[in-house]
Amino acid sequence: MRPFRFGKMKKASEPELIQPRVAEVETELENPKLSSSLADNQTTMQTIFTNCPDFMYRELKIGQERVPVLLLYMNGLTDEQTVNGDILKSLVNIKSSNIIVSGSNTIEIIKNIFLEIGNITEITTIGEVEEAVLTGSVVLLLEGTSKALKIGTKGFDGRIVSEPATEGVVRGPREGFTESLQKNTAMLRRKIKTPNLKLEKFVLGRVTKTEVNIAYLDGTVNSKVVDEVKKRLSLIDVDSVLESAYIEEMIEDEPFSVFPQIDHSEKPDKIAAAIVQGQVAIFTDGTPFVLIVPTMMTQFLQSSEDYYDRSIYATSIRLVRFVFLTLALLLPALYIAITTFHRGLLPTSLLISITAAREGAPFPTVIEVLTMEVTFEALREAGLRLPKPVGQAVSIVGGLVIGEAAVQASMVSPVTVIIVALTGIASFGIPSYSFALAIRILRFGMIALASTLGLYGVLLGVLVMSAHLVSLRSFGVPYMAPFAPFNLKDMKDSLIRLPWWAMGDRPRLIAKNNNNRQRQKFFLKPVPPDDNEK
């Protein structure tokens, strides 16, 4: 006979029966249910919103039975016209009807017959009432029921749709995202008109309770990337999320890398293009900047306008940007290394010109370059932080005056001023501000290596930086793709941009489920009309 093991059976059954009940009790203690007494619910909410003068409540009695009703909302977050015109008018009309609004079905009668508003949901806990009021909804409580109605009436003022200040274009859409999450997702829907565009909601921040939406194209996006985005967002446990940068630093792969691994934009067309390509967008309420994951380094050197010009123009501009990237990173370091350690590499006439220009300069080349670089960065930062009319004057006039004065006083050679000016102009040619900032930081490291080891130090810095870039990942996608690992098919939209008729496939490392972008992948040459048909 099989022995009866009482101890093991008891131990195995306890987690199944006791633990769910314990979790249920803990949830009820943290988020209690609504009471069937309207007075008790009103007292509870007034206690929660003590010293909150913008918390409004309106007491009414509806129907021929004079059923007590309480409306709760936050002044300034709701649409006053909807509250006064639609909700109150609908509740007043109950009195003139012949429908009885008493009993257990009162909530359903009001919801389905009298309220002429589309966004209505039932809630049952104090926490849900609190969240609904704080997010701009109106909550309707009734006597004799432990349910409440959450009525969507968000209507606070916001910034109108305008051209983005950080991403100007010559050709292309000029609309930009605003601080309203609902308005931003609607602008995205206007670009991508398909039910495959999925939006999933998260609420982050114990105090701010910021709504975050992830957007992706179902059937095109890599499902593993979506799962990883959900996992990283669900692990965020902070008290506040006020901007998308909070999320960016918490979900990136290498937080201590100087290079940004998540792109961001406030242009709906750029976000729509990224989603169609197979990437995931992360919208954050309260900011116009939307995150894009996964991200490759080439994206930071591309602009949405590249896809609105002819391919030959876009390719030429991209190649110039890579030249700008090289100059912004290495030009001061190469100048220091050559003029200090490797003067024999220069032509004799150029060497004589540089030496004559530096005659009488009291400081070594590295000190001159560092002084001018720090001054240039200070002027650029002042131009950004000051009001726009004042900031432009400070950055332009300050640069001219300080540069001219330094040369006239023989503190800095004219060649150094030219080198620093070219470096600054080259850094302005990088479309992404965050990536340009990383290059500006690395430039000082290259200057330090060049001043100690010469060209060998510059080469060492480039090798270390390249090894770091190759090792980076953005949600599992190599940061240096399609260069490392090398993929010839994806090179059509990296250093160059082929015409649209030649880009029939999406990047393979991003969109693994649906690589086909268009049905016709080859250019169809127009057929001239037949002479007999003229």
The pLDDT of residue 512 is 72
CA distances for 175 relative to 11, 442, 485, angstroms = 62, 34, 36
CB 382 within 8 A of CB 397: no
CB 459 within 8 A of CB 337: no
CB 137 within 8 A of CB 153: yes
Which residue's structure tokens are 């912004």? 328
The DSSP annotation for 370-421 comes to: HHHHHHHHHHHHHHHHS-HHHHHHHHHHHHHHHHHHHHHTTSS-HHHHHHHH
The pLDDT of residue 494 is 87
44-82 core/surface letters (b: 16 or more CB in 10 A; e: else) = bbeeebeeeeebbebeeebbeeebebbbbbbeebbbeeb
349-360 core/surface letters (b: 16 or more CB in 10 A; e: else) = eeeeebeebbee
CB 153 within 8 A of CB 182: no
DSSP element (H, E) containing 495: none
Q: If DSSP codes are grouped into helix, strand and coil, which group holds residue 263? A: strand
The pLDDT of residue 413 is 83
d(CA 341, CA 327): 20
Around Cβ 199, how many Cβ atoms within 10 Å? 13
Q: Do you find a cis peptide bond into 482, omega within 30 degrees of 0?
A: yes
CB 359 within 8 A of CB 474: no
- Both tokens assigned to 424: 């600054």
CB 327 within 8 A of CB 320: no
- Is the sign of the CA dihedral 414, 418, 424, 428 positive or negative? positive
The pLDDT of residue 271 is 95
* Mean pLDDT by groups of 10 residues along the chain of 534 residues: 39 44 50 87 90 86 78 84 76 64 67 74 88 88 86 75 82 89 91 92 91 92 92 94 94 93 93 93 94 93 90 92 94 93 86 80 87 85 73 64 73 86 90 92 95 94 95 92 87 88 82 74 60 54
The pLDDT of residue 17 is 43
pTM for this structure? 0.84
Which residue's structure tokens are 């330094």? 406
The pLDDT of residue 135 is 84
Q: Do you find a cis peptide bond into 499, omega within 30 degrees of 0?
A: no
The DSSP annotation for 272-301 comes to: HHHHHHT-EEEEETT-S-EEEES--GGGGG
- Is the sign of the CA dihedral 57, 63, 64, 68 positive or negative? negative
Q: If DSSP codes are grouped into helix, strand and coil, which group holds residue 166? A: coil
Distance of CA 11 to the CA centre of its chain: 49
Phi first, then psi: give them for residue 265, nearest 5 degrees: -160, 155
CB 227 within 8 A of CB 475: no
Enter the DSSP assignment of 151: E
Enter the DSSP assignment of 309: S
The pLDDT of residue 487 is 85
d(CA 287, CA 183): 11
